[in-house]
Structure formats: C-alpha cells, structure tokens
Amino acid sequence: MKLLNDKILKLKLRDTSTQLITDRIEKSEVVSRTEDGINEVVIYWGLDEVTLLNDLLNLNENLPSPITKDYNWPGLYKPFDHQRVTSEFLSINKRGFCFNEAGTGKTSSALWAADYLMNKGKVKRVLVICPLSIMYSAWQGDVFNTCIHRTAQVCHGTSDKRRKIINSNYEFVIINYDGVAIVKNDIIDVDFDLIIVDEANAYKSTTTSRWKTLSKIVRPHTRLWMMTGTPASQSPEDAYGLARLVCPHNVPKFKTAWRDRVMYQVSRFRWIPRPIAKNEVFKALTPAIRFAKDECLDLPDVMYQTRDIELTPQASKYYKQLKNQMLIETGGEQISAVNAAAGMNKLLQISGGAVYTDTKEEIRFDIKPRLNSLLETIEETSNKVLVFVPYRHTIRVVSEFLSNNNITNELIHGDISATQRANIINRFQTAEEPKVLVIQPQSASHGVTLTAADTVVFWSPVMSVEVYLQCIARMDRVGQKNKMTVVHLQGSAVEKRMYAMLRGKVDQHTKLVDLYREELET
C-alpha cells in the first residue's frame, strides 16, 4: 500500500478483491495486472473512499485516513503520534474498539476523530456514554480542552432535565450508563450519528438491562466506538457481549456456543480458558486498535512497595473465627466462585478494620497500626497522594485520622455527586491543597487524571484486576513528571495472596476459588 501525492492510494489486490473494489468504489481504477492474479489498483484518497475500502476488505492493518491531511488538530495540546494513529483508525471505522491502555489519552483521540467527522458532515451529534464519576471531570473537560469550538452538555438530573438536553442542539451529550435507560426513547428519536462508550467493559454481559438498552439505541447506520484499556479482563467469556454490539458476525449467535469455543469445564463449577482463547478473543474483538503506555509514552518509572502490618489481637481473633465458620459451612462441598468471593470479601473487611455481620451489625477493630503506617507513607513524599479504601465504613475513619494529624484531604465515594467530584479533582490537580484524596475505588478508578499525585496507597486489596490497574492509572498517565510509587498495606495472609494475584494480572474468576481454598487450609 502506497500514498501517491497525498491524493491517491495504491494497493496490490487479488482478482476477487479487485472486482469488489472497482464495482463499489467509483473513484478507483486498475492500473496494471499480473499473470499470477495480483493487480495494482489506485483509489482516490478521500474519507468516503477509504471508509468503504476498509469495510469491503476488512484488512488486518490500519489504512491511512485522510484526517492526516485534512485536519488541524485543535485544542490546548497537540496529539502524540499514537493519538494521531488512534484518531485515524476511528475516523474510518464506523464500528470498532479502542483498547489503548489507561492513561494514553483515548478520550482526546476519540474527540479529534469525532470533530473531524463533524467537519466532513458525516456526524452531527455525538452521544458519549461513560461512568457517572467522569462525566464532568474527564469528558466535558476534555471537550473544552480539545474541541472548544464544539458545544457539550452533561445529561444528568431529573428525567425532564435529561430529556430537554437530549432534544437540544448540543453537539456532544454526555450521559452515564444507567441514565441511558431513563431517556432511551428520546435517544432513539433523536438518532445520534455516533455513540462513544467509555469503559466499555460495563457492557460485557448480554443479560443486563444496560446491555439490552444500548443494543436498542444503536441502529444499523449508527457509528459505535467502544473504549476500554482492559478488554476481557476477567475471562474470555467477557468478549462476547462487546462483540455482539460492535461486530456480531465475529461470534456465535448464542453465548453458550462462545463459552464452549473459548473455555472448557474442569468441574461442576469451574471453567478455564482453552489454549486458543486468546486468539479467539482477538478475532472476535476486531476491528480494534491497541497502544500500551510503555510503547508510546516516556513516563517515569513506577516502584512497588509493601508495608506489613500486624493485625491487632481483636481483629486476629475475628479473622480466625470467620475462617473456622467458612470451613464448617463449606463442609467438603465444591467451592464456587460466588461463595469464595463472599468469604474473601469478609476476610478483607476484617483485615481493613471493620466488618458487617449477617444481621447488618458493624463491628469495628483497632486499626491504629495500619493508620500509622499510612501516615508514614504520606509523610515520605512532598507531593500528593491517592489512598484507595475499598470499604465505605473505613473511608471516614481514614479521613478523620489524617485531618487530626494535619494532613489536608478530601473524600470521593458513591455519595459524592458528579459535580462535587469534578470540583474536588480540579482542586487536587491545580491547588496546593488537599495533599491527599481518600477514594473508594469504584468512584474514581476510571478516566480521571490525578497526575498531581506521585504515590498510590492501597489501604487493602481491591477484588478486581481491572479496578487495580485503573486505580494506578490515575497517576500513571500523560502529564506525570515524577517517579511514582504504589504502596500495598497488608496485615493478613489473604491480603498478601490478593496483592500477589493482582500484581500478576491473573484471571479473577478461576483464581479466586483457589485463593479461597488456600486460605481455609492454612
């Protein structure tokens, strides 16, 4: 494939492909033929022509998009090379995946591509579907920084307010996952030209109402770009729901057939990936583009530290009691992923400082040693710190302790509104204070830039490899200037095993049962 004079694209094609191209693309011509059936074909290098060529041939390589010659890349920041390539890919793929690693600037790449298509008259309005926590701080902010000439509005609030925004003339409408169902009919009536789904793993299951709603609002002619840095992060089965939305012809009609293709059953409750699973997922999730941070960004190094903390006698007593109780409850029966997760969660709660009983009673433990270790970690850096605390009942304890020790801090958790989160994040990034953000992982693990910090502290392990990586990516991304440190606070055997699993990026579903069994046997 060659570009001639920034006007003509020359390709070598076999007879069957040649006929297909010359029949469908008006501005194309065969310039030479060979006896072995390989022809040289020239095509006008325009957006319509390249998009159609891409659809017809389904090439396993990225075609050059005319965006490289037709677009001036507006905004406060100029794109990195990988962002330009990503925008090229998106601009000529009506349906596709962007799997660029967290922190590589996927949002800006998608916005530039969308803006280019708007300039060309191919797109009038864009619907962005993303987590509630990043509607303001990431997407609305990035539209302002990247495409200030475009109008954008967050679709949030009452049903009437949401409907009014959907039926307005805003070029970018930003809505959270569960907000889509509230105004589903209005979205269908408006018929957005392009839908961008951020953190697309939220749509991995075809049985959820969230997935079913999206499948209804995506029409055959709708452009759909789905973005996540962690595709099929927990199991090859996760690829099925994503593929059914973007490229349904790549997977079987029924999920059970897909599961049988990529997994095999080793016991009643346990399935493990087949050796071919990785390749099958790759084929299912195409067309796609993927850039890892280490191949496209020159970011400072990340160091990992572990701080061992002894459990207090009270916590240790309850920890042993719960293990004995779980051992009795299983009674030699097959351990499932469900009861493993529940048991593991209880053990992690005790290790972190508090636990809820079956009667919803909260039992708190002395966590002074863990709090002191956290304080030492924070005081070791002159820069800002992110502290991820998985459990709500511990977040305020941590915050109050820091305040009592003259460490300025703010909280982000599920009860903090999207507007409040955006304001907190802006202060953290631009102002001298606060020094620390205490965060519930699910509330700010996606799409948020927190590069003012150079240290991430995990109060206790999270239960998902995807969430773990996303938490670290809040600081390890474009804009980071300092060497970074990730600190694991650990006091129990289960915490040590969980951190080892997370660091190894192993599959959660299959390994959780093993971890649970190991914990009971020690």
Residues 3-31: tens digit of each pLDDT: 888 889 898 888 888 888 888 999 988 88
What's the Cα-to-Cα distance from 486 to each of 179, 183, 248, 476, rounded to whole Å?
34, 41, 39, 10
What's the Cα-to-Cα distance from 179 to each of 85, 158, 189, 440, rounded to whole Å?
32, 10, 16, 21
- Do 47 and 87 belong together in one domain? no
- Do 482 and 435 belong together in one domain? yes
CA distance 204 to 245: 10
- Do 51 and 194 belong together in one domain? no
- List the single range of 80-84, 329-333, 509-513 with lowest mean pLDDT: 509-513
Per-residue pLDDT at 258 exceeds 90: yes
Confidence of residue 233 (pLDDT cuts 50, 70, 90): low
- Do 231 and 286 belong together in one domain? yes
- List the single range of 62-76, 197-211, 312-326, 412-426 with lowest mean pLDDT: 312-326
Residue 62 lies in a domain: no
Residue 396 lies in a domain: yes
- Do 95 and 133 belong together in one domain? yes
CA distance 522 to 164: 59
Query: CATH no. for residue 141?
Result: 3.40.50.10810
Per-residue pLDDT at 483 exceeds 90: no
- Do 163 and 91 belong together in one domain? yes
- Domain encompassing residue 133: 67-296
Top-confidence residue, 39 or 167: 167
CA distance 41 to 21: 9
Q: What is the pTM of this model?
A: 0.72
Top-confidence residue, 103 or 474: 474
Residue 40 near residue 32 (C-beta atoms within 8 A): yes
pLDDT tens track for 426-478: 899 999 999 999 999 887 666 688 889 999 999 998 887 778 888 888 888 77
Task: Tell me the average pLDDT across 94-104.
Answer: 88
pLDDT of residue 343: 74
- Do 460 and 444 belong together in one domain? yes
Top-confidence residue, 87 or 367: 87
Confidence of residue 257 (pLDDT cuts 50, 70, 90): very high
Residue 499 lies in a domain: yes
- Do 251 and 217 belong together in one domain? yes
pLDDT tens track for 112-127: 999 999 999 999 999 9
Confidence of residue 345 (pLDDT cuts 50, 70, 90): confident
Task: Tell me the average pLDDT across 241-247.
Answer: 95
- Do 277 and 352 belong together in one domain? no
Per-residue pLDDT at 480 exceeds 90: no
Q: How many domains does the chain have?
A: 3
Query: CATH no. for residue 20?
Result: 3.30.70
Alpha-carbon Rg of the chain, whole angstroms?
25
Confidence of residue 265 (pLDDT cuts 50, 70, 90): confident
